[in-house]
Amino acid sequence: MSDASAGTTVLELRNLGVHRGGVAALHRVNATFRAGEITCVLGENGAGKSTLVAVLSGLLRPDEGELLLGGRPVTFRSARAARAAGVATVWEDLAVAPLLSVWRNFFLGAEPTRGVWPLRRLDLDAARETTVRALARVGVPGIDPDRPATALRAGERQSLAIARALHFGARALVIDEPTAPMTIAQHTVLAEAVLSARDEGLAVVVVTHNPRYAHLIGDRFLLLARGHVAGDLTRKDVDADVLLRLMAGGRELTALTARLRALHPELDER
């Protein structure tokens, strides 16, 4: 990542609102996601995390406010449109097509070919070699590209999707962290891939329920509570223990929100 691109705003939410049956799933949410930075989105069930992922990934259009990509307002009408614009989402359960090989999962319809029409054919060697190199790039070396994706462990499946996003030029990466139990080794594999994406200059958004894991990999922390932004913090603002207590909500989260608004009156205008 070049110094010029580091810290550049890739995605921005301005007064974003989503309503579900008269209830605000997201209410006047403001957030900025920058190149070369990992933002961890935390909150209890019902806080609005899934709705935020749906908006960023193109599955849901906001009812009010704006989503900006590279400083320009955008409207994603589908997940495909979001991917085409450079916003890739790694879903918890849909990171791979389990019955396909690793290399076919990597390309998914964009397989390399050689020769000219009408003799053009699939370049299997290039497909396999590219897949192996791309996985090694995100910290998963030595994978047999012909093995079925079902043989991949948790963490490796998400890493494959991250490697694919990097290879095809994503600008932003949204990761719906697995809620299923993962071993330390599996968390490590996923963390290496996430950090690789950050180091390649992507704006990375990780939705997680684990504050200690978030503090380990995150540069910023966006705390959601009942659809509102309850905190927008950096690693300098909080340590892992404070982040854990804030996730529990209650008086500490209320006090944090009040303090932030006292220090930054402009928050009341958002």
pLDDT tens profile 140-189:
999 999 999 999 988 899 999 999 999 999 999 999 877 667 788 888 89
Q: What is the pLDDT of residue 91?
A: 85
Which backbone phi and psi does 211 adopt, to 5 degrees?
-65, -30
Q: Based on the domain organization, do 176 and 59 belong to the same domain?
A: yes
Q: What is the pLDDT of residue 263?
A: 61
Q: What is the pLDDT of residue 267?
A: 45
62 within domain boundaries: yes
Q: What is the pLDDT of residue 270?
A: 40
Q: Based on the domain organization, do 125 and 240 belong to the same domain?
A: no
Q: What is the pLDDT of residue 174?
A: 96
pTM for this prediction: 0.86
Other beta carbons within 10 Å of 72? 9
Q: Based on the domain organization, do 53 and 164 belong to the same domain?
A: yes
d(CA 215, CA 221): 8
Angstrom CA distances, 215 to 18, 142, 212, 220, 261, stand at 28, 29, 5, 9, 23
The count of structural domains within the chain is 2
Q: What is the pLDDT of residue 4?
A: 46
Q: Based on the domain organization, do 259 and 129 belong to the same domain?
A: no
Q: What is the pLDDT of residue 97?
A: 85
Q: What is the pLDDT of residue 269?
A: 47
Q: What is the pLDDT of residue 194?
A: 94
Binned average pLDDT, 10 residues per bin, the chain of 270 residues: 70 95 90 97 90 95 96 94 95 79 92 86 95 96 94 90 95 84 84 94 93 90 92 88 74 56 53
Q: What are 253-262's contacts with CB under 8 Å, separation 24+?
A: 253/223, 253/225, 256/230, 256/231, 257/230, 257/231, 260/231, 260/232
Q: Based on the domain organization, do 139 and 156 belong to the same domain?
A: no
Residue-number span of the structural domain to which 123 is assigned: 99-149
Burial of 56 (0-12, 13-18, 19+ CB in 10 A): buried
d(CA 6, CA 27): 29
Q: Which CATH number covers residue 203? A: 3.40.50.300
Structure tokens at 38: 């990992």
